[in-house]
Structure formats: structure tokens, C-alpha cells
Amino acid sequence: MQKSTNPKDYQSIARPVAAMPKDFADGDTIAPHSHRRAQLIYAATGVMRVTTTGGAFVVPPQRALWMPAGMEHGLRMEGAVAMRTLYIEPSAARAMPRDCAVIEVSALLRALILSAMDEPVLYDRLGRGGLIMRLILNELGAAPHLPLSISMPRDKRLARLCGSLLRHPQSDATLEHWAEHVGASARTLARLFRRETGMSFGEWRRQARLVEALSLIAGGGAVGDIAQRLGYRSASAFTAMFRRELGKTPRAYIGR
């Protein structure tokens, strides 16, 4: 029997974990919404962009996003996306963070998630289904969290600046340049960046480029083309930044 693709059907079932498979086309979007249950947002193929009121995330294959219960979020698909999502009762996920977190998906966790999709919604708690779900919860608790989010400021001037940088990550415009366009001094903008994002302007822009790079790499882009698109003078300069931030070359990090 084919499973429902309506998230509402999975919020109150008599099981701690519910597995929903759903496929999307390139460019599909999901308007901001929230769920009663926590959610593990994972795609077997494709890249997802997820936004919340406080941040933006890119979720390529081999990664998943932990979304706490009740947190509003919206999604946009890049490429054909095979979403394989889990809805988890909050009481079953007390060890998970209270904020969004990008999680590394091991080969075991991936296999468990895909196996969960084959189980009936009301799986046998004492049988194969129950064992798979318990192993998933155990693996989630042990999975490394990755620094792949972008903090979004609430100040309207900074939000305007950051929105432009997300649309044009190659921009090298200085804070002095932005000060002329958003109605605040460069010193004020620098202070606001620290207060609202915990980063300097340069650190925030580097993080935004890093997150965008993961999306482009997962989409099959060549390192040289990605470097140019993100404003780096050479592929080697981009690769050096990537290795410095994440400890691996772009291709090694994405698992190719």
C-alpha cells in the first residue's frame, strides 16, 4: 500500500517515528510551515534549501537537517529531490538539539532511513520496523553536527545586506559600500553583525559562500566554475578556503 505524502497524516500516529517518502521536481517549493513532531529532513538525491526565521541551510546528499518540533521552515528544491523524511515524537528525541542542526549521514544511517520507508506506518514495535526505528534514534544521537548554517539577522538593514549577498555571493563589496546603501555607518554595521550573527562581516560572507559551494558541488558543478561564481580568483584559492574550514577538499567532503 502506497504511503501518504501529506505530512499531517504522520503527526499523531501511535509510533515514535514515522517515515514519509516524497519526490519533488527541480524548483519545487514548500511554503513556511511547522509540525507538531520534530523532523529529520533528508534527501537520497538532490539538494534542498531550508530557511527558518533565524537561519538558512543547504542540505546536500550525505547530510540531513534536524528540525525541532514547532519550528517554522520553508524549502526549495534544487534538482530532482527524493526526500525521505522522518517525523519523530519529541519525547523520543530528547537527546537531539533544540535548534536546527545539519547532521552527517553515515552509510548506516542512510541505509536505516531508506529501510524505514519500506515499513508500514503502523510497523511492528517488536519486529523489524521497531528495531530499525530504535537504531535510527541511536544513530541520530551519535551523528556529528556540521557547521553548515547561515545566521540571518533581524535588523532590517542587515537583512537587506545579507539577502543581497546570498543572491550575489561573488560580491566583494565592503562594509563602507553597504553603509551608503542601507542607511547606517560601516562601524554600526560591523557592530550589528557581531551582535546579531556572532560573526564579523567577513566571516559571515565566507560562511555564506561555503554553504553555497556545497549546493553547487552537490549539483555536479566543476570546482573552477564554482570558484569563479563565488568570487574566488582561482580554483586553488577556493579549495584552500574549503579545506581550511571543513578539513577536506570539496570533492572529498561531498563524498565523490
pLDDT at residue 249, as a whole number: 86
pLDDT of residue 67: 96
Per DSSP, the residues of 88-111 read: E-GGG-TTS-SS-EEEE--HHHHH
CA distance 149 to 59: 10
pLDDT tens for each residue of 132-167: 999 999 999 999 887 777 888 888 888 889 888 888
- Would you give the end-to-end CA distance of the chain in angstroms? 35
pTM of the predicted model as reported, rounded to 2 decimal places: 0.79
pLDDT at 69: 96
- What pLDDT is recorded for position 90? 94
Q: How far apart are CA 82 and CA 115, in angstroms?
A: 14
Task: Quick: pLDDT tens for 31-87.
Answer: 999 999 999 999 998 889 898 988 888 888 788 999 999 999 999 998 899 999 999
Q: Which domains does the chain have, with CATH numbers?
A: 7-146 (2.60.120.280), 154-254 (1.10.10.60)
pLDDT in tens, 211-242: 888 778 777 788 999 999 998 989 999 999 88
Q: Which of 185, 187, 186 is nearest to 174 (CA)?
A: 186
pLDDT at res. 251? 74
- ∠ Cα 27 31 34 (to 5°): 135
The residue-averaged pLDDT of 6-17 equals: 96
Place of cell 517518502: 21
| Cross-strand bridge partners of residue 22 | 83
Distance of CA 201 to the CA centre of its chain: 21
Share above pLDDT 90 across residues of the chain, in percent, rounded to a whole number: 54
- 84-141 per-position pLDDT tens digit: 999 999 999 988 988 999 998 999 999 999 999 999 999 999 999 999 999 999 999 9
Please report the pLDDT score of residue 212 as a whole number: 85
Q: What's the pLDDT at 15?
A: 97
The pLDDT tens digits for 171-218 are: 989 999 998 888 889 999 999 999 988 889 998 998 888 888 877 877
pLDDT over threshold 80, residue 255: no
Please give the pLDDT value at position 245.
81
3-class DSSP state of 74:
strand
Pairing mode of beta strands 17-24, 81-88: antiparallel
pLDDT at 106: 92
What is the spatial distance between Cα 228 and Cα 231, in angstroms, rounded to a whole number? 5
